[in-house]
Structure 1
């Protein structure tokens, strides 16, 4: 009996946020299942992981950016051109990284539109005693942006897969809606 060929969908995601907030650690934990103990500042790196999302094989490619305080960098715009979804990342122990979510969101909406798939990701939730951003604040911003919100800990393996899968599911949902629209027209 021949094996049934299965379509593999690739999702191109972009992680944006300030340096040293845990973007790379989260991505490495997601794609390679380990927590990097030493910090090596990211220049730009791309990671891939094959996984199963809702019984479908998927390859998630994540571009880890090095946002160096130049919020309107041409590089961010270039990265956005190739992305299908975004993880807006801040650290729960850095109010400044959280306050910059509006700036990044503005860029995304300007370049990709209001309904572009994204999620707000609070990293380092294992450092509750150093928290500077409340869960309710993050939920309020996510509601204002019209996206989901989740807190993670790459170090403790908390909610590591969820933000990547959530954005991929939103891309899937939007693709199905778009396909139904074109089918209805055709």
Structure 2
């Protein structure tokens, strides 16, 4: 199927926060209670539409274990968006966000869009992290914030779509240089590039550190 743009995403966060379940819910509209730990990375994709333009989301679900951090880092390069996930029922997964965020920003393009996700909102009775804490962390670090449930599908589509809308807006405003390969965006076979979408960002800068 033809599309105007391809956006590369990475999903990051501690083991067991529901990264793979979020991906499965978004791409396949289903949830499973049995899911093996991700070894390295898993992959999924889905076509969405923004302003009547088809956009393909290429989503890489990364392993949360420390032993796979070096593999995970390689997927930051050339990603347009990152979904940083914690489990609202496990305080330690929230406490580790700063480490994940620092690591991602160190190894990614300066234009990467970050979405903070507090997953497992269906387990309100086991909540260990207040919603206001997630909102405050996101505000402090310039991220968008949502609480989701991979089990009930609450806000799952919205999280992926919201990230895509921000990236798309940056393209329309000319903040991204689409002639480079480091922004995690590819012009699709159905798109006809125009001067406005290909012009350079401030000072003509573009990250050339990786590929998408």
Shorter-chain TM-score bucket reads: 0.7 to 0.9
How far, CA to CA, are the matches of 2:63 and 2:202 in structure 1? Answer: 42
How far apart are residue 21 of structure 1 and its match?
A: 1.0
2: CA distance, partners of 1:13 / 1:157: 19
Q: Match of 1:56?
A: 53
Out of 85-94 and 111-120, give the one that drifted further: 111-120
8 Å CA contact retained: 2:78, 2:108: no
Unaligned runs of 5+ in 2: 177-195, 205-212
Looking at structure 2, the residues matched to 24 and 56 of structure 1 have their Cα atoms a distance apart, in angstroms, of: 27
Listed one character per residue, the Cα deviations across residues 10-69 of structure 1 (whole Å, up to 9, x for unaligned) are 111000011111111111000001001212111121001112233221111110001203
Tell me what 2:136 maps to.
140
Match of 2:99 in 1: 103
Once the 2 structures are TM-superposed, how far is the Cα of residue 114 of structure 1 from its aligned partner? 5.2
Q: Show the counterpart of 2:73.
A: 77
For residues 100 and 202 of structure 2, the distance between their equivalents in structure 1, rounded to whole angstroms, comes to 35
TM-score, length-scaled by structure 1: 0.88
Partner of 1:167: 163
- Give the aligned partner of residue 183 of structure 2: none
Match of 1:31 in 2: 27
Post-superposition CA distance 1:65-120 (Å, at most 9, x none): 0120358x322220101311100000101111111110111112222355520100
Partner residue, 1:86: 82
Match of 1:11 in 2: 7
Provide the rounded CA distance (Å) in 1 between the counterparts of 2:80 and 2:92.
26
Normalized per residue, the structure richer in helix is 1
Provide the alpha-carbon RMSD of the alignment: 2.4
Q: Is the partner of 1:139 in helix, strand or coil?
A: helix
* TM-score scaled by length of structure 2: 0.78
Instruction: Quote the Cα distance in structure 2 between the aligned partners of 1:115 and 1:102.
Output: 18
